[in-house]
Amino acid sequence: MPIIISIDTIQNFILLTFLLNIYITENNGVLVEFSDVCKSYLGRWGEYLSVFFSLSALIGAMVVYWVLMSNFLYNTVKFFYSEYDAI
């Protein structure tokens, strides 16, 4: 049950920031960055929090990419080595 509450809280926060971004874009006519929206409505800590989570998602994607590519390279070398060794 606590996981559902935390997921619902995160969804509501994402919906709020999305709607605020659309509201600012319609009023100003300029598309601003997500961290600027968080700064204008949530203050300096909101800007830092949005940048932190953006960077954490980027670093997580880089780690996953690195693991997948190293696993692919390892298996490729292992395949060619076993094929060469069989000859």
**Number of domains the chain contains:** 1
Q: 31 pLDDT exceeds 70?
A: no
Q: 87 pLDDT exceeds 70?
A: no
Residue 70: domain span:
2-86
This prediction's pTM:
0.56
Confidence of residue 83 (pLDDT cuts 50, 70, 90): confident
Q: 74 pLDDT exceeds 90?
A: yes
DSSP 6-75: HHHHHHHHHHHHHHHHHHHHHHHSSPPPHHHHHHHHH-HHHHHHHHHHHHHHHHHHHHHHHHHHHHHHHH
Answer with the residue of higher pLDDT: 5 or 85. 5
Q: 20 pLDDT exceeds 70?
A: yes
